[in-house]
Amino acid sequence: MHMTQRDGALDLLKWLALLCMVLDHLRYVGYSVDILYVPGRFAFPWFCLAMAANLARSRAVTSDGQWRYLGWLLLFSAISEIPYRMFIPDPDTLNVMPTLALGLLVARGWQDKTLQSRLLGAGSLLLAVLFSEQLMFGLFGVLLPLATLLVIKRPWYFSLLPGLVCLAANQWEVLYEAARFGNTAAALGIAACLIAPLLGLVLLRHVKHLKPPPMRRWAYALYPLHFLLLFAVRQIIA
């Protein structure tokens, strides 16, 4: 039986992305910790980079594997929506997983030249254009996995492309205006968006010797569960 070697750097990237996401969401527990916005800017691009790494590693592994990947994203998109809305005050977008699901289809449509993949990718891109305001990180968030896939095997300076896409996905106009008026979190947030893909690529290429706990399919459940846990903490300290 053919066994593929576990990529420790990829597992580490996923754990760090999860940690950054939790730190970001701690801003909504009840204390004023706006500076946690900064590590939060690493979470989404690192999840996108992990997706791109899986796509690039062996030409998306198999079609069946990618359908399962998409299926898990869609399933937990639905499961996570209620915990997400319980915890995030007055959300104006869906949770992040629909963005990742559409991003997967767009990147896969670019990578796989079959008619089915191309049509699914084009349809997903159209949905992202039409419903950009309802998607977390909007149209540029859907494009970020593709932007990362395009540069994942290129020299490090190409990471500026997904860095700019990441910044656009994070409402760069709002960040720029806040930074102009001296908001430290906004200025550092801009820097974090620009360098997040580069730091992720450096990690993937140079720390393969590490062996963190493997992040398998059970990790999808951590997304809704962390909302429920943080919601419980907020209720306790309120």
Whether 171 is in a domain gets the answer yes
pLDDT at 226: 97
> Which one-letter amino acid corresponds to residue 184?
T
CA distances from 235 to 84, 186, 238 (A): 15, 29, 5
CA distances from 69 to 51, 72, 182, 199 (A): 10, 5, 42, 25
* CB neighbourhood size of 171 (10 A): 15
pLDDT at 185: 95
CA distance 60 to 114: 13
Domain of 89 in residue numbering reads as 17-28+35-232
Whether 8 is in a domain gets the answer no
Count: domains in the chain:
1
Average pLDDT for runs of 10 along the chain of length 238: 68 97 94 91 98 80 71 96 95 97 96 92 98 97 98 94 97 93 95 98 91 92 97 92
pLDDT at 68: 85
Whether 44 is in a domain gets the answer yes
